[in-house]
Amino acid sequence: MPKQATLVLKDGTTLQGESFGADLPCAGEVVFNTGMMGYPESFTDPSYRGQILTLTYPLIGNYGIPGECKDDDNLPKHFESNKPHIRGLIVSEYSENYSHWEAKKSLADWLKKHKIPAITGIDTRALTQKLRQHGTMLGKIVQQTSKAGRVEDAKDETPFEDPNKSNLVAEVSIKKPILYKRGPKKVIAVDCGMKHNILRSLLARNLTVLKTPWDYDFIEAQRTGTLPIEDFNGIFLSNGPGDPAMLEPLHKIIQKALKLKKPTFGICLGNQILATAAGATTYKLKFGHRAQNQPCQDVDPDSPSFKRCYVTSQNHGFAIKDESLSKDWKVWLKNLNDDTNEGIRHKTLPYFSCQFHPEATPGPTDTEPFFDEFVGML
């Protein structure tokens, strides 16, 4: 008989369902994603660190989980990091039976292996409507695994937890630099929770990439002769979880780096980091953007793609305040759903960034040429 589980929201709402992941309670920020495919990639995206993810697509698990084979760079072929980062999972209907030629195990078995609880039988679209109306909420998934064996006791034993009060980037970033050798052009890639397909996208363009920890002062390392490469041609700022305001050491490093006037490209959190280093501010969105079909338009009259609309893959909960940008910067891209910032450019120097994910996985590849633009600047 399936074990009973309960989703508890900070406002007191309780929703009953059945457990199909790890027999453990969890607490975090409840968010939603409206994508229709790509759950292995989404679950392993470090940007979901600390979050309980709600999937609006009704049937989840039907193609299982692929094997953990790796490519020549020792990167998992089918995942965006080495493990899932979601705190918990909420679905409407979990499919125990799965079928895919690359599937090696069920979603339930994979979640149990990584000690991630999950609940099925929830009206995820109604839950999403609630989150859209009231904003993202703290929540928890509890089961009949407490000392007393009752869900009611488990509710009290598991406190709510706000992940945005922690430096989540420090939890997911690498601890020491890693060098990936390719061609003569060299790029510093600051790892704030970088998805593997971003690294693959850079390497596929024959760039030598030095992947560095989020707080690694590569400017000072170059000055002292301890940088693993002699010099570099550009800087990349990756995606990652949490509040960009928590990353003050990185802001100071990028402020120094911008004085070098070397090409700089940021994605997702990297967009916010670049803006913050340039003196702008960010704010928390009501319910964030987590989807594979967000329409974004080029609003820069000087751009060759002015007024073009891109369909984009997104996963973020914070955004740049347009009005806080200095006169040297301009808004490049806007979200057509809510008019929030989706990208910035410097007016004269080779600095640009986007809030969405050109590398996709999962999602559309409309903006993959942004990587080519970066390479062309080097």
Catalytic residue numbers read 268, 357, 359
Residue 149 pLDDT > 80: no
108: region left, alpha or beta (phi > 0 left; psi from -120 to 50 alpha) = alpha
Q: Which helix (H) or strand (E) holds 291?
A: strand 282-298
240 pLDDT more than 90:
yes
Architecture of 4-165 per CATH?
Answer: 3-Layer(bba) Sandwich (3.50)
Largest CA distance in the chain: 65
Q: Residues 114-126: what's their mean pLDDT? A: 97
Span(s) in the chain for CATH 3.40.50.880? 168-377
Averaged over 151-174, what is the pLDDT?
Answer: 87
168-377 classified as CATH 3.40.50.880: yes
Where along the chain do the CATH 3.50.30.20 domains lie? Answer: 4-165
The tens digit of pLDDT for each residue in 6-61 reads 999 999 999 999 999 999 999 999 999 999 999 999 999 999 999 999 999 999 99
| Residue position matching structure tokens 């027999």 | 23
- The residue among 357, 183, 363 whose CA lies nearest residue 265 is 357
- Helix (H), strand (E) at residue 60: strand 59-60
Mean pLDDT score of the chain? 95
pLDDT at 269: 98
Per the listing, tokens 């989840």 go with 60
79-116 confidence digits (pLDDT tens):
999 999 999 999 999 999 999 999 999 999 999 999 99
Say yes or no to pLDDT of 279 above 60.
yes
Gap between the terminal Cα atoms of the chain: 60
pTM above 0.85, yes or no: yes
Say if residue 154's pLDDT is above 90.
Answer: no
